[in-house]
């Protein structure tokens, strides 16, 4: 089984963990075509089952209308990519996975980065990939598929 975690922000990432605990993390590509190709490549690379958790985030009061709309478009595009590549997925709130992993960040990415470094000392952890890795870890170890 391949467990995928996606932090949908432009400064987010995509990570996956297999049953042997091999972890891979990718900074979110900058173009829609590159995002689609990365998700497609992941879906074609392995002969295993897949399941993805996509972080479901919402607009913040201080966000402008344009940035909220852009973020929503990006989130919807990621959902469409998963569907186009036949990768089953579910949404998860940041609070749910952060609470379970004892790393409530309240927006401070250094907290989730430190947790990812603790869990994945063999990887180079950046702010781009830390949340995606933790979502994939939560997906593998705690998420109950229906």
- Residue-by-residue pLDDT tens, the chain, 146 positions: 999 999 998 899 999 999 999 999 999 999 999 999 999 999 998 777 999 999 987 655 666 665 566 666 889 999 999 999 999 999 999 999 999 999 999 889 999 999 999 999 999 999 999 999 999 999 999 998 75
Q: Where are the beta strands (DSSP E) in 8-69?
A: 13-18, 23-27, 50-55
Q: According to the model, what pLDDT value does residue 107 have?
A: 82
Is the pTM higher than 0.85?
A: yes
Provide long-range contacts, Cβ within 8 A and 24+ apart, for 72-78.
74/8, 74/9, 74/10, 75/8, 77/32, 77/35, 78/6, 78/8, 78/35, 78/39, 78/54
Q: Which domains does the chain have, with CATH numbers?
A: 2-141 (3.30.420.10)
């Amino acid at each position: 089984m391949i467990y995928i975690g996606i932090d949908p922000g432009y400064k987010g990432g995509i990570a996956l963990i297999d049953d042997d605990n091999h972890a891979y993390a990718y900074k979110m590509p900058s173009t829609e075509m590159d995002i689609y190709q990365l998700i497609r490549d992941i879906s074609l690379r392995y002969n295993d089952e897949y399941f993805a958790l996509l972080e479901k985030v919402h607009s913040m009061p201080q966000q402008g209308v344009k940035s909220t709309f852009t973020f929503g478009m990006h989130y919807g595009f990621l959902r469409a990519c998963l569907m186009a590549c036949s990768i089953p997925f579910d949404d998860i709130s940041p609070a749910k996975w952060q609470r379970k992993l004892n790393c409530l960040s309240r927006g401070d990415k250094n907290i989730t980065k430190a947790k990812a470094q603790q869990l994945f000392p063999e990887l180079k952890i950046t702010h781009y990939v830390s949340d995606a890795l933790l979502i994939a870890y939560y997906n593998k170890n705690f998420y109950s598929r229906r």
